[in-house]
Structure formats: C-alpha cells, structure tokens
Amino acid sequence: MGLEGTRLPTVRHWSITTRLTFLYGIYAFALLALASNIVYWSMLSNIQTVEWKFLTNKVFIFRTILAEHAADSGTLKQEVEWEKIPPHSGQYYAYYSRISDLSKKVILQTPGFDEALTNVVFPQPVRGDVDESSIERWKSVEGKSYLLISAWSKESKNRATDKTIDVALDVTQEDILVDQYERQMAVVLIIGLMLAVSLGYVVARRGMRPLTEIAQAAEHITASQLHERIDPERWPKELALLAGAFDRMLDRLEESFTRLSRFSADLAHEIRTPINNLMGEAEVTLSKPRTTEEYRQTLESSLEEFQRLSHMIKSLLFIARAEESTKVVKRTWLSVHKELESVRDFHSAVAEEKGISLRCECEARLWADQTLFRLAVSNLLANALQYTPSGGRIVVVVTQTAKGGVVINMSDSGCGIEPEDMKRVFDRFYRTRNARSDYPMGAGLGLAIVKSIMKMHGGKASVFSVPGHGTTFTLHFPPCSEGP
C-alpha cells in the first residue's frame, strides 16, 4: 500500500503545545550554543595569546643575550638548556630552541631537538619585530603539534656575526584540550537540547492548561444552561480576553434564545386564535346543511382570518429580513414634508371619519430609504389613529439637528401607555391589555417593524407617554456622511 493518501501534518496544523515546545527548544538550543561558543572562542583566544606571547618573548630574550652577552656563551647555554622542560615531566608543554650561524651551523640547541623535530622546516627568519604572523604550525610524524618561529638576532654593523634563532613550542596538550572541549560541548548541546525540549513540553502543557479548562467549562454549557459563564477573572491575563469574549457571546446567545422562545410562544398564541376561529366556523357550518348565503358568510369570515394570517406572515418575514446584517438599504435624499404629506393623504379618510385633526410641522431633508421611511411613519400614524378617540389630534414635528440628523416626533391625544408597558411596546406580538380587549384583530407587529426599520438606518425609536393624556413616538435618524 502506497503513501499517496497519507498526509503528514504541516507546521500550520501543529498543536499550540507542539509549537511552543518546538520554539522553546530552538531558542534554548540557540542560547546554549551561543554561550558554549563564546566560552570556546574565549578559551581558544586565551591559549593562543599565551602561546604567541611565550614565543615572541623567547625570541626577545635570545636577541638580548646575543646582543649584550655575546662573549658569554654560558649565559646563552643556560637560557637554551636550563629553561628546557624535560619530556614526560608532567608539565603542560615543552619547547625547543636552536641558535645557528649564517652557514646554518648549529651553535647551540636544546637537548633532544633533533629527535623531537625531525625533518622540521622553520619559516624564514624575521629580521625586525616578531608578531603572531611570524608563527607557523607544524605537525610531526608522531602526531605532535608545534608552533614554530624563526628570527635573526639583533642587527649589528657586522652582518657576518648574525645568528638565526629557532624556537618550537609543543602545543600537543593544548590541542588535546581543545578537542576534548569540542566533544564535551557537543554532548552538552545534545543533552541541553533534549532537556530544553522536555522542559519546554512540560512548561507548554502547564501554560495551556487554563485553555483546556476553558474548553471543558464551555463543553458543559448547553442550551438549557446559557446562564452559566466562564468568568474572565479566574484566568490569566492573556486568556481573560478570550473568556470575556466568550461570556459576551453567551450573553448574546441567551438573549437570542430568550427572545426566540418568547417569539415562538407569542407566535403560537397569535396564530392559535385565527386557526381556532377558522376551525370553529368550519365545524359549525358542517354540523348541518346550510344555505348558500350561510356558506358565503362563512367563507367571507374565513377570508378575513386568512388575510390576517397573511398580513402577520408578511410582517414577520419583513422583520426577519430586516435583522439580516447583509440587508441593503437603498437610501436617497428625501423631502420629509413631501413624504409625510403622502402618508397623511393615505390615512386622511380614517382621520376624517373619526374627526381627528392631523397637523405636520416639518421642513427637513433626510438620507433614507423612501419605501421604508413611509412604512415606518405609516405604522406610527395608523397606531396613533387607532388609539386616539374621536375629536382628538395628532401632531407631527420634524427637527433638523445641528449635525444633520433628523428627529421626528409624532404625538397623539389618545389613551396613553402604562409605564410597565412602554419597555415592551416595540417587541414583536406585544400588546397592552387595553389593546387586546379593544382591538382584538391586531397582531402587535407594527411597532416592531418600526424598530427594525430604524435599526436598518442606524437610528433608534423611542416612546414617551402619560396615561390618559397621550403618547409621543420619536424616530431618531442619524446624520448622513455623504453630501446632498
């Protein structure tokens, strides 16, 4: 079986714990490697500096002796032989020196020089000052490492008396020390990487534990337990934002569920009445033979109930669509006076029949959807006409705010609204006790539609009422950001 269908997880699909462990391991390894290399190069630099100073210092000593004690061979011999560290003495390193004339004849050399430095080739002698660039590295057939330097003695008037100074420093032990350190450093890095990954995994798991606990707490929240909360104060600062956002989401869900439950109950209650009426009329009509006129009356009554149901469904569909965030409002500049006059003409027959005076005081321009604006004002006016007694009055006052917004106040001299009812008059299907008894055919959706229309325009609807003295509904339209 091939591996074509097998997909290995990419970095994007790693868990947060794995990512944190991986990053922690890389950073810890990088820091450990950096520290180890700093110590390594510091140690290597110190060793090289000591070795270079040793060799240059020896050249300086030999030059001084040859210049100031040329006739005293004992002093030179003592410096060449007495400073010799014998092999296998347990000391850290040994060095060898040799003094030759112009013909390369050896004048004096350290005992064992030829045995230790067989076939050695020293660099060209340096006549001036010696430095690190004058030093070369050489390795013997036995595998020992040496640093070599060669220099002329100090200049004199008689070049024929010049001597060649050759010094070789055995640095085998230093090389062994450096090799051991490199191996130990590699082991330390490997162990450090393993420890960093292990500790990183433990730290990441402990750090992610609150997130796991939040997930477990969220798992226990169901539709019947939306009142429970995550409580941001319990968690670290980084997760408090997540917990707070989750709690706010639960608030919205609980509010939506409550509204949906209330809506479902109200819908069932509102639909039950016309359905029961239809069923009752049909049962009574079918209980015995009827005349054509009786059947006609039954059908006419049923048609009224059907129209009521149809209007209710259309209103509910409008409200549902209005609450969609993608709903587009086709705005245009409107003359508020012209639009209100059009709405007043539509309701003028009802107003005249009841003897209610309609007065509009307005002169403003509004950036809004014409159809929706007329619908909102028409619903308010129909509501005012319904609850204003004969001989009453309705006054519409429109104000243009300083920032360009529009405020519409519609006041009537009707029965008013009780304080406990004003908080819910814009809810779907909500009707006051008086409204249900005096106007049983209403559905309680007109003001809900007004609220939805104002929400679509970015405004709001409010109400103020004094029972027995009338009600004022106010529509607040925000200013337009575009020019007229």
Domains and CATH numbers, the chain: 16-180 (3.30.450), 232-321 (1.10.287.130), 328-477 (3.30.565.10)
**CA gap 175, 47 in Å, rounded:** 10
Cβ of 171: how many Cβ atoms within 10 Å? Answer: 23
**CA gap 390, 353 in Å, rounded:** 8
Burial of 153 (0-12, 13-18, 19+ CB in 10 A): buried
Which amino acid is it at 295? Y
Cβ of 165: how many Cβ atoms within 10 Å? Answer: 25
**CA gap 473, 450 in Å, rounded:** 10
The residues pairing with 148 across neighbouring beta strands, listed in sequence order, are 136, 168
Sign of CA dihedral 436, 438, 439, 441: positive
* Contacts of residue 335, Cβ cutoff 8 Å, sequence gap at least 6: 365
**CA gap 33, 189 in Å, rounded:** 7
* Contacts of residue 305, Cβ cutoff 8 Å, sequence gap at least 6: 274, 277, 278
**CA gap 249, 239 in Å, rounded:** 15
Give start and end residues of each alpha helix (H) in 388-445.
419-422, 433-438
**CA gap 397, 362 in Å, rounded:** 6
pLDDT computed for residue 104 by the predictor: 83
Phi first, then psi: what are they for 33, rounded to 5°?
-65, -40
**CA gap 408, 410 in Å, rounded:** 7
pLDDT computed for residue 89 by the predictor: 43
Among 44, 26, 41, residue whose Cα is nearest residue 192: 26
Cβ of 81: how many Cβ atoms within 10 Å? Answer: 13
Sign of CA dihedral 250, 252, 258, 264: negative
Q: How many CA atoms lie within 13 A of 40 on its CB side?
A: 18
pLDDT computed for residue 148 by the predictor: 92
Strands 95-100 and 106-109: antiparallel
Kindly give the confidence (pLDDT) of every residue in the chain, 484 residues in length, as a single tens digit, with 9 standing for 90 and above.
444 444 545 556 677 778 888 888 888 888 888 988 899 899 888 888 888 888 888 888 888 888 777 656 666 776 776 555 544 444 445 788 888 888 788 888 888 888 888 888 888 888 888 877 888 888 888 888 889 999 888 765 566 668 888 998 888 888 888 889 889 989 988 998 888 888 888 887 877 777 777 777 777 777 666 667 777 777 777 777 777 787 788 788 877 777 777 667 766 766 776 777 788 888 888 888 888 888 888 888 888 777 777 776 776 666 666 665 545 678 888 888 888 888 888 888 888 888 888 888 777 888 888 888 888 888 888 888 888 888 888 888 888 887 778 898 998 888 888 887 777 777 776 666 666 655 555 666 778 888 888 888 888 888 888 887 888 999 998 887 554 4
Phi first, then psi: what are they for 390, rounded to 5°?
-60, 140
Q: How many CA atoms lie within 13 A of 459 on its CB side?
A: 26
pLDDT computed for residue 9 by the predictor: 53
**CA gap 28, 153 in Å, rounded:** 54
Which amino acid is it at 22? F
**CA gap 228, 214 in Å, rounded:** 13
DSSP characters over 257-269 = HHHHHHHHHHHHH
pLDDT computed for residue 255 by the predictor: 76
Among 269, 242, 224, residue whose Cα is nearest residue 436: 269
**CA gap 14, 198 in Å, rounded:** 17
Which amino acid is it at 120? V
Sign of CA dihedral 479, 458, 476, 339: positive
Q: Taking the mean position of all CA atoms in its chain, how far away is CA 483?
A: 37
Question: What does the DSSP 8-state code read for residue 126?
Answer: B
Cβ of 144: how many Cβ atoms within 10 Å? Answer: 16
Q: What size, in residues, is the chain?
A: 484
Q: Which two tokens stand for residue 385?
A: 């006409």
